[in-house]
Amino acid sequence: MPTPYEKLIARSREIALISSTGSVIGWDQETYLPAKGVAYRAEQLSYLAGHAHKLGTAPEIGDWLLACETEQSGWPDEDERRGNIREWRRDYDRATKTPPDLVTEMARVSALAREAWTEARKKSDFPTFLPWLEKIIALSKRQADCWGWEKTPYNALLNAYEPGSNAADLKVLFADLRQTLVALLPAAQQKTQKINPAKLHGHYPVEAQQRFNHKVATAMGFDFDAGRIDTTTHPFCSGMGPSDCRLTTRYDETDFTSSLFGIMHEAGHGLYEQGLRDEAYGTPLGESVSLGIHESQSRLWENQVGRSRIFWEHWYPLAREVFSHLKYVTLDEFWMIINRVEPTFIRTESDEVTYNLHIILRFEMEQALIEGTLKPVDVPGAWNTRFKELFGLDVPSDTSGCLQDIHWSMGGFGYFPTYTLGNLNAAQLYRTALAKNKGLEAEIANGRYGTLLDWLRQNVHTHGRRYVPKDLMRHATGEPTNAKYFGEYLKAKFTT
Amino acid sequence: MPTPYEKLIARSREIALISSTGSVIGWDQETYLPAKGVAYRAEQLSYLAGHAHKLGTAPEIGDWLLACETEQSGWPDEDERRGNIREWRRDYDRATKTPPDLVTEMARVSALAREAWTEARKKSDFPTFLPWLEKIIALSKRQADCWGWEKTPYNALLNAYEPGSNAADLKVLFADLRQTLVALLPAAQQKTQKINPAKLHGHYPVEAQQRFNHKVATAMGFDFDAGRIDTTTHPFCSGMGPSDCRLTTRYDETDFTSSLFGIMHEAGHGLYEQGLRDEAYGTPLGESVSLGIHESQSRLWENQVGRSRIFWEHWYPLAREVFSHLKYVTLDEFWMIINRVEPTFIRTESDEVTYNLHIILRFEMEQALIEGTLKPVDVPGAWNTRFKELFGLDVPSDTSGCLQDIHWSMGGFGYFPTYTLGNLNAAQLYRTALAKNKGLEAEIANGRYGTLLDWLRQNVHTHGRRYVPKDLMRHATGEPTNAKYFGEYLKAKFTT
């Protein structure tokens, strides 16, 4: 007779089989699915999601969990068991607290809202999106109420992406960060704007970019026997099995850095997925812990490593062999172009300094929307006012303003802050890795990343969901996420 | 309250959602899956298969079927309902008559047998395969006993691939065919061997082949908005949704005809899949009826059309624009090379005349193995003797003889005859299409296939499993499958 714990393991693995199958056919939809196949693919995906949800909310899970939670301690794998049980409980409570009609309604409304948003963005017409934004906010509040919250319903939403986080802590963290960023901005602009970025524009054939990206990702440690790269409109990384992690990117033939930094970012995510323990696959300890930690891995490789001077000391000569146009650009100029700081209206096109100001704006605004202190109808005005305060720029249209991101249309309130958490965690982890590993910088300057990857594996990847993000950061770096290291990193990079 | 019939429709569609998802991830395994992902993919596939099997063998289906079978007639869609109910019954009985332990054992043994066969073929060592062949035959017999049979257990196996077929009918059909083939062989060789086929060998870049194949498949009517072509070691066609059908091929850069005829063959299968009625998807009337009919579609396009003189009158000038080497080969020479008749040891490399002799040999031998009149240990000797009688050649090794095909190692007894049924059906259908559509040949000579495809759609594709294959052929051509038309086709092609 299997024990309740063994039954939970088996159920968890069964659900992972279904979800990972969903990931494969979801990936296929973005890469190779013929146009007319989209409607049926939606049915296949929704069937798998429904089947997994049914298995994950079955009442027997509650019984098994109770049995595990009240059993005596003293197991040889105590620590691991506790982690799994705690996370199963978290998933089960959240899933069973959402009534089925709310799940269905959220799926239905967000599909329609996404359509309305696409239309509104195209026409730069906020009123087209407004009624859907109102519906989505009402549903998100209902969701928060079902899940339960303290202080603000926004906390319940935040926790869906970043377990253990809360709005009050983020507010302090972000206030600190904003001060640093605003103070740093003029010097950073001055340092990086000495050269016209158009100097980098040339002809970079897709195939050459693919070969170069492959080389860089391989050097980073991405295992191409357990993963691959394909082309999509929107780059992503998807883990779909213990040895199957797929990255995607898109190519701009006038500028190779767009696909390269895309691949370094996605390969950062991919290394995390590939670093999870195979034998724990399908259980919480074999899963990534949060978006804020996931994003720390992508940002660490993309920015901390990929936009550093030492990284390019190794790779620039190799890039020059592949891309003939680079003979017109010195390494100094190249570094300035890829690190150019310049306020822009669009979050996804922004630099390392101003990126987080974009997030702070969204964080403040979505919290106010969920708490009801900002009305949806007032979003464009509030956006533009706050943008002017933070960036000193007048937003020319809602397409370049409050309609630029897809997240709210999908009900993703609480998602944005994880981007900045990722940036802060990345700086904090990288700083610690450098401190703990003498000679690491020299290795990186020589194009070798084994020591760095091993350290990340040991301190982040292998833990899966064993610790909540705050505790994971504490274990890895000695303190929870804070803005200090990211601030120091930017200062060192842009003012010295 | 849904009626029993509506419940069956819903269940049938649910199973199709699962099976089609299995097809997508099966296709992915052959095309893009990273090497290390294979083991987990097997778990995903087996989970989906098990889940579909459980849903398809549930006892309530028996109740619903009984209710449908005893209900009064007079429905507006009577004909369609009867077809669905008859085919559900067929699937349900077959699935529930196989005890679960036999399903598991067959899966286990055939996986191991396939490995042993691979090894045996490599070493040309029949004894390595022998114990597994014995096991597979014993299991196949048990399967036949579970399913039930009349006259010979081989009939039960045949029916798994070709509903309504039986060994006695096939014996008559194949005897007739063999006589025709043997009589025709000398003249066919003489007519087609006047030119050295090496003359066609040149350099045909993969990309140029891909463009040319795409053009031909598009002209045939294959809808690339509902399908695609990828590269695999073993070409196949897989339908995985009402608007998603994927073909694969492989490329030989010394000879473009290998991938082209591969694509014409697979696109023939694909046109059948694309011609099934979308609104019936997931029910028997939306499914292909048998392997013998499926193969008739691939062979019709590959051979009846693709190896005809009129086809190349249109395409050869276009091929010459793409492949510069063809300037050294006249259309006459080209026709002779692609139609060259020459006995060979390997079935898959054989021509239109001798191909069916290969099948006849396998048909006789597998029937004898299942009936116990031939012992597995005697297979190599019996193979070589019969091969000598049919082809006049001494088989040099078991690799070129009884070990060449994978089918038996997978438990596929009864599969081989459907290849020849496909050839006979193709000739019979094409002949009828020509007779019923004046001007069809002229259209084909001009590279237009719309009339032909419409006729196939109307007479074959749209019916799904409404009629058993024999009746489908009767409806489409006025008589059940016979060898006459194929014989006449070959005579006209090779002796005039």
Tens digit of each residue's pLDDT (9 = 90 or more) over B173-200: 999 999 999 999 999 999 999 999 999 9
Q: In the predicted model, what is the mean pLDDT of residues A136-149? A: 97
Place of tokens 């010459």: B320
* Other beta carbons within 10 Å of B421: 27
- pLDDT of the residue at A121: 96
> Is the CA virtual torsion A192, A197, A203, A206 positive or negative?
positive
- pLDDT of the residue at B72: 82
Alpha-carbon distance of B454 to B29, in angstroms, equals 34
Question: Which of A13, A14, A15, A17 to mutate against chain B (most B CBs within 10 Å)?
Answer: A17
How much is the CA Rg of chain B, to the nearest whole Å? 23
Chain B contact for A37 (CB, 8 A cutoff): yes
Alpha-carbon distance of A362 to A396, in angstroms, equals 18
- pLDDT of the residue at B76: 85
Phi, psi of B446 (to 5 degrees): -100, 10
End-to-end CA separation in angstroms for chain B = 66
Chain A contact for B207 (CB, 8 A cutoff): no
Whether the predicted pLDDT of B454 surpasses 90: yes
Share of chain A above pLDDT 70, in %: 100
Of B356, B469, B458, B464, the closest CA to residue B416 belongs to B356
Cβ neighbours of A41 in B, within 8 Å: 241, 244
3-state secondary structure at position B67: helix
Q: How many CB pairs under 8 A join A and B?
A: 96
Chain B contact for A328 (CB, 8 A cutoff): no
3-state secondary structure at position B247: strand
The tokens for A35 are 């146009």
Q: For chain B, what's the residue count?
A: 496
Surface-to-core class of residue A394, CB atoms within 10 Å of its CB (0-12 exposed, 13-18 middle, 19+ buried):
exposed
- Do residues B217 and B267 lie in contact, with contact meaning Cβ atoms separated by under 8 Å? yes
Of B284, B292, B278, B281, the closest CA to residue B467 belongs to B284
Q: Do A40 and B226 touch (CB under 8 A)?
A: no
Alpha-carbon distance of B153 to B166, in angstroms, equals 10
Q: Do A37 and B226 touch (CB under 8 A)?
A: yes
A349: annotated active-site residue: no
Of B44, B242, B244, the CB nearest to A33: B244
Q: In the predicted model, what is the mean pLDDT of residues A54-76? A: 93
Cβ neighbours of B239 in A, within 8 Å: none
Alpha-carbon distance of B433 to B71, in angstroms, equals 39
Query: With bands split at pLDDT 50, 70 and 90, how would you rate the model's confidence at B303?
Result: very high
Alpha-carbon distance of A414 to A152, in angstroms, equals 12
Alpha-carbon distance of A272 to A317, in angstroms, equals 29
- pLDDT of the residue at A73: 79
Whether the predicted pLDDT of B9 surpasses 90: yes
Whether the predicted pLDDT of A164 surpasses 90: yes
Question: Which of B38, B43, B224, B237 to mutate against chain A (most A CBs within 10 Å)?
Answer: B43
Alpha-carbon distance of A192 to B464, in angstroms, equals 66
Tell me which chain A residue has its CA closest to the CA of residue B43.
A17
Interface ipTM: 0.94
Query: With bands split at pLDDT 50, 70 and 90, how would you rate the model's confidence at B496?
Result: confident
- pLDDT of the residue at A146: 97
Q: Do A36 and B230 touch (CB under 8 A)?
A: no
Q: CA A145, A149, A151 angle in degrees (round to 5)?
A: 120
Tell me which residues of chain A, numbers 108 to 167, contact chain B at a CB-CB cutoff of 8 Å.
none
Q: Do A18 and B243 touch (CB under 8 A)?
A: no
Q: Do B226 and A25 touch (CB under 8 A)?
A: no
**B418 Cβ neighbours under 8 A, 6+ residues apart:** B161, B162, B290, B291, B292, B295
Q: Do A47 and B18 touch (CB under 8 A)?
A: yes
Alpha-carbon distance of B426 to B424, in angstroms, equals 5
- pLDDT of the residue at A100: 87
Chain A contact for B16 (CB, 8 A cutoff): no
Task: Catalogue the active-site residues of B.
Answer: 266
Of A188, A194, A173, A189, the closest CA to residue A491 belongs to A188
Alpha-carbon distance of B150 to A117, in angstroms, equals 64
- pLDDT of the residue at A496: 82
Whether the predicted pLDDT of B168 surpasses 90: yes
Any alpha helices (H) in A256-378, and if so which ranges? 256-275, 291-299, 309-322, 331-338, 355-371
pLDDT tens-digit readout, B121-163: 999 999 999 999 999 999 999 999 999 999 999 999 999 999 9
Q: For chain A, what's the residue count?
A: 496
Return the amino acid letter for A421: L
Q: What is the mean pLDDT of chain A?
A: 96
- pLDDT of the residue at A75: 85
Of B34, B224, B226, the CB nearest to A227: B34
Alpha-carbon distance of A383 to A369, in angstroms, equals 12
pLDDT tens-digit readout, A422-462: 999 999 999 999 999 999 999 999 999 999 999 999 999 99
Q: Do A14 and B43 touch (CB under 8 A)?
A: no
- pLDDT of the residue at B75: 85
The tokens for A245 are 């992690």
Whether the predicted pLDDT of B71 surpasses 90: no
Indicate the helix (H) or strand (E) that contains A137. Answer: helix A126-147
Instruction: Looking at the complex, report in whole angstroms how far the Cα of residue B253 sits from the nearest Cα belonging to chain A.
Output: 21
Cβ neighbours of B34 in A, within 8 Å: 224-228, 243-244
Cβ neighbours of B41 in A, within 8 Å: 241, 244
pLDDT tens-digit readout, B87-114: 999 999 999 999 989 988 998 999 899 9
Task: Give the pairing of strands B245-249 and A245-249.
Answer: unpaired
Query: With bands split at pLDDT 50, 70 and 90, how would you rate the model's confidence at A226?
Result: very high
Q: Write out the DSSP string of B280-316.
A: GTTSGGGS---HHHHHHHHHIIIIIITTSHHHHHHHH
Question: Which of A15, A25, A243, A248 to mutate against chain B (most B CBs within 10 Å)?
Answer: A243
Q: In the predicted model, what is the mean pLDDT of residues A76-89? A: 93
Whether the predicted pLDDT of B73 surpasses 90: no
Whether the predicted pLDDT of A18 surpasses 90: yes
Query: With bands split at pLDDT 50, 70 and 90, how would you rate the model's confidence at B309?
Result: very high
Cβ neighbours of B224 in A, within 8 Å: 34
Q: Do A241 and B40 touch (CB under 8 A)?
A: yes
Tell me which chain A residue has its CA closest to the CA of residue B24.
A25
Q: In the predicted model, what is the mean pLDDT of residues A397-418? A: 96
- pLDDT of the residue at A71: 85
Alpha-carbon distance of B376 to B140, in angstroms, equals 13
Instruction: Looking at the complex, report in whole angstroms how far the Cα of residue A27 sits from the nearest Cα belonging to chain B.
Output: 10
Of B370, B365, B414, B411, the closest CA to residue B113 belongs to B411
Instruction: Looking at the complex, report in whole angstroms how far the Cα of residue A120 sits from the nearest Cα belonging to chain B.
Output: 28
- Do residues A364 and A413 lie in contact, with contact meaning Cβ atoms separated by under 8 Å? no
Q: In the predicted model, what is the mean pLDDT of residues A373-396? A: 97
Q: In what order do the strands lie in the sheet with B237-239?
A: B227-231, B245-249, B237-239
Whether pTM > 0.80 for this model: the answer is yes
* Other beta carbons within 10 Å of A234: 10
Q: What is the mean pLDDT of chain B?
A: 96
Whether the predicted pLDDT of A74 surpasses 90: no
Place of tokens 């705050």: A470
Alpha-carbon distance of A200 to A319, in angstroms, equals 13
Whether the predicted pLDDT of B368 surpasses 90: yes
Tell me which chain A residue has its CA closest to the CA of residue B46.
A17
Alpha-carbon distance of A128 to A119, in angstroms, equals 7
Q: Which of A149-153, A224-228, B104-108, B166-170 has the lowest mean pLDDT?
A: B104-108
- Do residues B4 and B67 lie in contact, with contact meaning Cβ atoms separated by under 8 Å? yes
Query: With bands split at pLDDT 50, 70 and 90, how would you rate the model's confidence at A72?
Result: confident
Better pLDDT: A73 or A56: A56
Cβ neighbours of A55 in B, within 8 Å: none
Place of tokens 């190799």: A318
Alpha-carbon separation of residue B238 from A451, B27, B271, B464 (angstroms): 45, 7, 11, 16
Q: Do B34 and A281 touch (CB under 8 A)?
A: no
Surface-to-core class of residue A158, CB atoms within 10 Å of its CB (0-12 exposed, 13-18 middle, 19+ buried):
buried
**B39 Cβ neighbours under 8 A, 6+ residues apart:** A243
Tell me which residues of chain B, numbers 221 to 280, contact chain A at a CB-CB cutoff of 8 Å.
223-228, 230, 240-244
- Do residues A329 and A335 lie in contact, with contact meaning Cβ atoms separated by under 8 Å? no
Return the amino acid letter for A399: T
**B346 Cβ neighbours under 8 A, 6+ residues apart:** B400, B404
Q: Write out the DSSP string of B251-279.
A: --TT-HHHHHHHHHHHHHHHHHHHHS-GG
Alpha-carbon distance of B21 to A21, in angstroms, equals 8
DSSP state letter for A58: -
Question: Which of A41, A223, A230, A279 to mutate against chain B (most B CBs within 10 Å)?
Answer: A41
3-state secondary structure at position B4: helix
Q: Do B244 and A40 touch (CB under 8 A)?
A: yes
Alpha-carbon separation of residue A441 from A271, A311, A475, A476, B170 (angstroms): 20, 9, 23, 19, 75
DSSP state letter for B443: H
Chain B contact for A218 (CB, 8 A cutoff): no
Task: Give the pairing of strands A237-239 and B237-239.
Answer: unpaired
* Other beta carbons within 10 Å of B115: 12
Instruction: Looking at the complex, report in whole angstroms how far the Cα of residue B48 sits from the nearest Cα belonging to chain A.
Output: 8
- Which of A87, A266, A273, A295 is an active site residue? A266
Share of chain B above pLDDT 70, in %: 100
Alpha-carbon separation of residue A350 from A344, B92, B115, B246 (angstroms): 6, 60, 55, 40
Cβ neighbours of A33 in B, within 8 Å: 244
What is the rounded (10 degree) CA torsion for A261, A264, A269, A273? 160
Return the amino acid letter for A206: V
**A405 Cβ neighbours under 8 A, 6+ residues apart:** A347, A362, A416
Alpha-carbon distance of B431 to B412, in angstroms, equals 31
- pLDDT of the residue at A371: 98
Of A52, A44, A48, the closest CA to residue B241 belongs to A44
